[in-house]
Homo-oligomer: A and B are copies of this chain.
C-alpha cells in the first residue's frame, strides 16, 4: 500500500494527510494471485482496476483460431484492467492472467469515483494517467500502422527495456503484433 500512496503523491505533486491515506487504504483491497491465475476472463465484466504492487501480468485476447494477442504487459507500478469493460460495464474481450506470483491493489469504479471526488491528489493522478494513456496508445497505433516490425522492436527496446528482461520473447512478439519467427529474424541481424 505504501507504494500506491507514494505513487499518488508523486504523480499529483500533492501531499496526502493521514486521513487521506487511511481512506485510500480502506477503498483498495489487496489481492494475491499466483502465476497463471486469472484476474479477468473473457466474457466477464471488469469490476476492478488494479495497481500492480509486485509481480507481472498481461491482458490478451484470443482470436477465432485460438491465437493469443497481448494488449498490455504490466509490472510493478502499472495498472491493469479493461478500460472499456470497467467504464461501460460491458463483457470483456480480454483475459488478464499473472505471469509471476503477483500482489495487486484492486478498486471498484464506485470507490474510485469516491476517491476522485474527495481527494484532489487522486483526481489529479487519474487525469494525468488517462492523458498519458492516450499518448501512449497513440504512439502504439502510429507504430502499428506505419512502422516495420524491426522499427517497432527497436522502439520497444529503447522505451521499455525492462519488459525485454522480464518477459519471454513470445510475449514481446505478440505485444508488437508479429510472429516469433519474424522476431527471431530481426534479432539475428535481419537475415
Contact = CB atoms under 8 A, between A and B. Distances in A.
Contact of A133 (B63, B93, B134, B146): B134
Interface residues of A, number: 29
Given A69-B146, A141-B141, A135 B177 contact: no
Interface in A147-191: 147, 174, 176-177
| Copies of this protein, total | 2
Contacts of A133: 134, 137
B142 A71 contact: yes
Interface in A58-84: 61, 63, 67, 69, 71, 83-84
A14 interface: no
A83 B131 contact: yes
Contacts of A23: none
A145 interface: yes
A142 B87 contact: no
A176 B133 CA distance: 21
Interface of A: 61, 63, 67, 69, 71, 83-84, 87-88, 93, 127, 130-131, 133-135, 137-142, 144-147, 174, 176-177
